[in-house]
């Protein structure tokens, strides 16, 4: 089935705001730089929060978001929409399993694997009161996105200290790249690791403030029409929302602020519609 877009703008951005963790805001853009509010609030869940909403356009023609339901808890949720403006709850997905009993379930990030075609969600799970966090993979077992297998840990990532959160994967040149926030030791910087498999083992290839972004969280990456990668990130305590470009996922341009988003939105995901 061919996917049909609900809006003509090629870029869609879903986020929560500095003022509300319980409402979804949806923005669109023609160039990936200047964003305008499509609707906000666009969705308020039946209960809990709607932090860290990650958006995809599925083969059924609907948009889906996965989101954090609360600061502590053992589930994340999924909602869908045909027009980006009217949303309904699809599923609440448990993150418990025989090998893990999480206290925190944060930042579920959609990832359709180009190599396998599978739809996955990468979730940051903590087994302590606050950390250590590690990323885990959930995989859709059917096209409804209601049923999921997992969690499977992404191996090779250290859980020392508070561990890693907000993990965003990219598949390029037969390599899996992840950009993930180091939560430990006051770093709070986005670091870069690679693997031959989505679930690892991963090796960190760039750490600390390697690209000059400073403290940042909630990274997401899309591909521009010219083939370059664009990374967006929440500037954490600075209130900035930034973007930066790269041709190879290793070397990045000096970051720039997005005036229409800075000081307003927090941790979202940009979808490049095709």
C-alpha to C-alpha distance for 237 and 235, rounded to whole angstroms: 6
Give Cα separations from 267 to 88, 89, 90 (angstroms).
21, 20, 22
For residues 190 and 139, the answer to whether their CB atoms sit within 8 Å is no
Q: Is the pLDDT of residue 4 over 70?
A: no
Superfamily of domain covering 11-272: Glycosyl hydrolase domain; family 43 (2.115.10.20)
Instruction: Tell me which of 27-31, 42-46, 103-107, 259-263 is least confident.
Output: 259-263
C-alpha to C-alpha distance for 242 and 272, rounded to whole angstroms: 17
pLDDT at residue number 221: 98
C-alpha to C-alpha distance for 49 and 24, rounded to whole angstroms: 9
pLDDT at residue number 98: 83
Q: How many other CB atoms sit within 10 Å of the CB of residue 18? A: 11
Q: Is the pLDDT of residue 1 over 50?
A: no
pLDDT at residue number 145: 98
Give Cα separations from 124 to 61, 138, 151, 258 (angstroms).
28, 11, 10, 26
Please give the average per-residue pLDDT across 79-92, as a whole number.
98
Q: How is residue 169 written in tokens?
A: 């994967």
Please give the average per-residue pLDDT across 68-78, as a whole number.
97
pLDDT digits (tens, 9 = 90+) for 55-72: 999 999 999 999 999 999
Please give the average per-residue pLDDT across 44-49, as a whole number.
95
Percent of the chain with pLDDT over 70: 97
Percent of the chain with pLDDT over 90: 86
pTM over 0.75: yes
For the chain, give every domain's residue range: 11-272
pLDDT at residue number 161: 84
Report the chain's mean pLDDT, rounded to a whole number.
94
């Amino acid at each position: 089935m061919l996917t049909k877009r609900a809006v003509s703008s090629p870029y869609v951005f879903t986020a929560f705001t500095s003022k509300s963790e319980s409402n979804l805001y949806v923005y669109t853009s023609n160039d990936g730089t200047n964003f305008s509010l499509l609707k906000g609030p666009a969705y308020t869940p039946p209960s809990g929060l709607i932090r860290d909403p990650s958006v995809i356009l599925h083969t059924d023609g609907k948009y889906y978001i996965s989101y954090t339901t609360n600061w502590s808890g053992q589930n994340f949720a999924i909602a869908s929409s045909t027009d980006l403006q009217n949303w309904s709850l699809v599923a609440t997905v448990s993150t418990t399993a025989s090998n893990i009993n999480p206290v925190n379930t944060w930042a579920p990030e959609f990832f359709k694997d180009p190599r396998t075609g599978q739809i996955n969600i990468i979730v940051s799970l903590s087994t302590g009161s606050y950390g250590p966090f590690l990323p885990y993979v959930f995989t859709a077992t059917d096209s409804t996105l209601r049923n999921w297998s997992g969690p499977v840990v992404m191996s090779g990532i250290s859980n020392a200290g508070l561990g890693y959160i907000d993990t965003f994967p990219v598949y390029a040149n037969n390599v899996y790249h992840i950009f993930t926030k180091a939560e430990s030791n006051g770093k709070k910087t986005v670091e870069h690791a690679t693997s031959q498999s989505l679930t690892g083992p991963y090796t960190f290839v760039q750490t600390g403030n390697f690209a000059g972004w400073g403290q940042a969280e909630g990274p997401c990456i899309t591909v521009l029409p010219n083939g370059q990668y664009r990374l967006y990130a929440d500037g954490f305590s600075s209130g900035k929302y930034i973007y930066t470009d790269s041709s190879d996922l290793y070397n990045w341009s000096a970051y720039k602020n997005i005036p229409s988003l800075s000081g307003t939105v927090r941790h979202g995901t940009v979808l490049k519609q095709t």
